[in-house]
């Protein structure tokens, strides 16, 4: 995912010995899904004796994304790659050094890797892993309460899990709204929230202002408003990434 990270990277660079422009190049590799090159570029900067969170979260992100991009027919290899990402991340969740945002991202991407592994293993395993994903997000929020991504991931978990199994569509709306509070132009938040609201499809009477939608608005009406914001955010991106294009295609396919 693309993020505004320049200022953060500058602060990390002084400690990690990596220039901000190198972070830009690494993130560009990720955006282009050149994941092996991204990982090989990051490895020399990682020091087990002095793990820097700005390096660690990018490694987790790249390693788990490598598994995501593998064909579903290669289930064994995919799970092994997810396990490699999780094994790399686990001992660094509390020991990686850096500013609050980078340390929060370490925990967030660990949660992402857990969720992606659960999906690869099947529906039941996704349900069993939901608690661990939410826990990683809560730990991320505790480190940096203004970081929108863990609220977003928790919202996606609530959206994906049936209410009988612990999902909560009311809380889902609240979490998406919280994520957007901290990052109102985030294309991922906007597109997924719009789709989730259209699927929830509650009426204006049900929306009392405490469920992620302004009081007196239908879910569908607000979904259309959020979708318009997504189109505006996408139009402002000079060079959309593969992921960003896919998010827009998914929203369009949902009829928004």
pLDDT score recorded for residue 15 = 45
Q: Residue 156's pLDDT is what?
A: 96
Task: Show the tokens assigned to 218.
Answer: 């239908």
Q: Token match 């995501």: residue?
A: 68
Q: Are 190 and 222 in contact (CB under 8 A)?
A: no
Which value, in Å, is the radius of gyration of the alpha carbons in the chain?
18
11 pLDDT higher than 70: no
The pLDDT of residue 226:
98
pLDDT of residue 123: 62
**Residues 112-122: what's their mean pLDDT?**
91
Share of the chain above pLDDT 90, in %: 83
pTM score: 0.90
- Position 95 scores a pLDDT of 96
Helix (H, G, I), strand (E, B) or coil at 193: helix
Residues 30-35, mean pLDDT to the nearest whole number: 96
112-125: average pLDDT: 85
Task: Report, at the CATH architecture level, how domain 1-147 is classified.
Answer: Alpha Horseshoe (1.25)
Cα dist from 89 to 70, 114, 115, whole Å: 20, 11, 14
Calculate mean pLDDT across residues 239-250.
Answer: 97
| Ordered DSSP codes for 74-130 | -HHHHHHHHHHHHHHHGGGTTT-BS-HHHHHHHHHHHHHHHHHHHHHH-HHHHHHHH
DSSP tag of 64: H
Check whether 231 has a pLDDT greater than 80: yes
pLDDT surpassing 60 at residue 2: no
Domains of the chain, by residue range, sit at 1-147, 164-256
**Total residues belonging to the chain:** 256
Task: Write down the pLDDT at residue 212.
Answer: 97
Give me the pLDDT at residue 137, please.
Answer: 98
Q: Is the pLDDT of residue 125 over 80?
A: no
């Amino acid at each position: 995912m693309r993020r505004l990270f320049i200022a953060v990277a500058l602060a990390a660079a002084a400690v990690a010995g990596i220039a901000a422009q190198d972070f830009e190049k690494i993130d560009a590799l990720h955006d282009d899904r050149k994941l092996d090159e991204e990982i090989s570029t990051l490895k020399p900067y990682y020091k087990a004796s002095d793990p820097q969170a700005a390096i660690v979260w990018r490694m987790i992100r790249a390693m788990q994304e490598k598994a995501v991009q593998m064909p579903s027919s290669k289930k064994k290899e995919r799970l092994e790659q997810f396990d490699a990402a999780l094994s790399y991340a686990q001992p660094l969740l509390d020991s990686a050094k850096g500013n609050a945002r980078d340390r929060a991202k370490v925990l967030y991407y660990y949660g992402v890797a857990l969720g992606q592994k659960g999906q690869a293993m099947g529906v039941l395993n996704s349900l069993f892993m939901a608690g661990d994903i939410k826990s990683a997000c809560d730990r991320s929020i505790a480190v940096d309460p203004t970081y929108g991504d863990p609220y977003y991931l928790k919202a996606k978990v609530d959206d994906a899990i049936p209410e009988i199994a612990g999902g909560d569509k009311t809380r889902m709306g609240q979490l998406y709204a919280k994520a957007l509070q901290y990052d109102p132009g985030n294309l991922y938040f906007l597109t997924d929230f719009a789709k989730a609201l259209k699927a929830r499809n509650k009426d204006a009477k049900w929306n009392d202002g405490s469920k992620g939608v302004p009081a007196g608005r239908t879910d569908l009406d607000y979904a259309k408003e959020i979708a318009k914001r997504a189109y505006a955010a996408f139009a402002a991106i000079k060079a959309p990434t593969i992921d960003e294009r896919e998010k827009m295609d998914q929203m369009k396919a949902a009829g928004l």
